[in-house]
Amino acid sequence: MTQAGALTDEECREAVMEALDELPEEISSQLTNVAVIVEDRHPTEPNLMGIYDPIEELQRIVIFRETNPSRDEVKRTVFHEVGHYFGMDEERVRGWGL
């Protein structure tokens, strides 16, 4: 069941793919060995929109569907987490206006 105002699973996945497709080539070509996945919500932080979550050799970006109410929010969240993938801290990523 979808939370009121939340994108459906399919809509969220499409928005993630669109955001990844919009990354400039010089960034997308360096985005390697990372899985970008969609989950409904974070298990302990219900307001978290996304997370870059490296676990040993596994690199992953998780977008939380229920806290991203629109395609634009999904796009901002994807770009934000890609910044973290490249080693940017929160202050620098927020400097992008995200």
* Segments of the chain assigned E as strands: 35-39, 50-52, 60-64
Domain presence at residue 95: no
Domain presence at residue 57: yes
Q: Looking at the whole model, is its pTM more than 0.75?
A: yes
Domain presence at residue 63: yes
Domain presence at residue 75: yes
88, two tokens? 């940017």
- For 15-46, write each residue's pLDDT tens digit: 999 999 999 999 999 998 899 999 999 999 99
pLDDT tops 80 at residue 96? no
* Segments of 40-81 assigned E as strands: 50-52, 60-64
Instruction: State which residues form the domain around 79.
Output: 9-88
21: domain CATH number is 3.30.2010.20
Domain presence at residue 31: yes
